[in-house]
Amino acid sequence: MMFPRYSYLALIVVAVVVASVGSYVYASSVLFPVHRNSLPMTVIHIPKGSSIPPPNWVDFTNLSSPTFHYPVNITVTIGVNNTIEWVNDDGIAHTVTSFLVPSGASTFNSDLIFQGKTFTVTLTAPGLYKYFCAWHNWLAGQITVKSA
């Protein structure tokens, strides 16, 4: 049986796709990890037990108050580490919901992030971003994004 020469290329592509199982690609008897993003990522862990309010917690309704202490306070630079990934290490689902973003920037909302799952966003406008968990507002943070 004779195949057109382009059929062999299609078979090679199909073989590579079939071999791309999980997070590894099989090639030449070597396993290579597949990277989701070529730029470094800033990872924020939502710690185990964080669904329990901290001692002496006062339920602030105004998270933009200057007296509110943000447990997560980081600075990133566009083009360097401005892709942020939250990893939920807790047994309870959480959200990452922005409530303050710079002018011209998009808001973000993860919906529920279940145990072991992640939420990723790339922040492309310089300025201050503030976020919290919609269910546990003591889980809040602010990210300062600097220009490249």
Tell me, letter by letter, the H, E, C secondary structure of the chain: CCCCHHHHHHHHHHHHHHHCCCCEEEECCEEEECCCCCCCEEEEEECCCCCCCCCCCCCCCCCCCCCCCCCEEEEEECCCCCEEEEEECCCCCECCEEEECCCCCCCCECCCECCCCEEEEECCCCEEEEEECCCCCCCEEEEEEECC
User: pLDDT digits over 39-70, tens only?
Assistant: 589 999 999 999 998 877 766 666 666 556 67
Provide the number of structural domains found in the chain: 2
Instruction: Say if residue 51 is in the same domain as residue 27.
Output: no
Average predicted confidence (pLDDT) for the chain = 75
Residue with tokens 């980081």: 74
Q: Which domain, by its residues, includes 25? A: 1-34
Residue 6 has pLDDT above 80, yes or no: no
Instruction: Say if residue 23 is in the same domain as residue 76.
Output: no
User: pLDDT digits over 73-121, tens only?
Assistant: 999 999 999 999 999 999 999 999 999 999 999 999 999 999 999 999 9
CATH code, domain carrying 132: 2.60.40.420
**Band of residue 20 on the pLDDT scale cut at 50, 70, 90:** very low
Instruction: Say if residue 98 is in the same domain as residue 72.
Output: yes
Instruction: Say if residue 74 is in the same domain as residue 138.
Output: yes
Instruction: Say if residue 48 is in the same domain as residue 28.
Output: no
User: pLDDT digits over 129-142, tens only?
Assistant: 999 999 998 898 99
Instruction: Say if residue 110 is in the same domain as residue 58.
Output: yes
Instruction: Say if residue 13 is in the same domain as residue 73.
Output: no
85 touches 96 (CB < 8 A) = no
Instruction: Say if residue 1 is in the same domain as residue 72.
Output: no
What pLDDT was estimated at residue 28? 24
**Band of residue 12 on the pLDDT scale cut at 50, 70, 90:** very low
In Å, how far are 38, 84, 105, 145 from 80, measured between CA atoms?
10, 11, 18, 11
Residue 18 has pLDDT above 70, yes or no: no
